[in-house]
């Protein structure tokens, strides 16, 4: 199973129309809520669709 945490940043294969390919995870579950790091747009995507379109997970840094 894919380990995702709130605050992690994921890099997707295709960039958003604003030009950014990095998204911050706001909520996890069956669906994942993502916020574009370029323009701030928020989307809801199915976990399996996200898994197929992901290139990299940049984990949140705990202090």
Predicted pLDDT at 63: 56
Q: How far is the CA of 22 from the CAs of 6, 25, 35, 36, in angstroms?
A: 14, 10, 9, 6
Predicted pLDDT at 59: 86
Predicted pLDDT at 13: 95
Predicted pLDDT at 2: 72
Contact (Cβ atoms closer than 8 angstroms) between residue 4 and residue 32 = yes
Which residues contact residue 8 at a Cβ distance below 8 angstroms, ignoring those fewer than 6 apart? 24, 25, 57, 58, 59, 60
Contact (Cβ atoms closer than 8 angstroms) between residue 31 and residue 46 = yes
Domain spans of the chain, in order of start = 9-58
- Splitting the chain (63 residues) into consecutive groups of 10 residues, what average pLDDT does each group show? 87 94 94 96 95 91 64
């Amino acid at each position: 199973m894919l380990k995702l945490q709130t605050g992690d940043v994921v890099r997707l294969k295709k960039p958003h129309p604003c030009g950014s390919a990095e998204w911050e995870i706001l909520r996890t579950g069956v669906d994942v809520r993502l916020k574009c790091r370029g323009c701030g747009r928020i989307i809801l995507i199915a976990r399996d669709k996200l898994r197929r379109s992901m290139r990299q997970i940049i984990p949140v840094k705990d202090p």
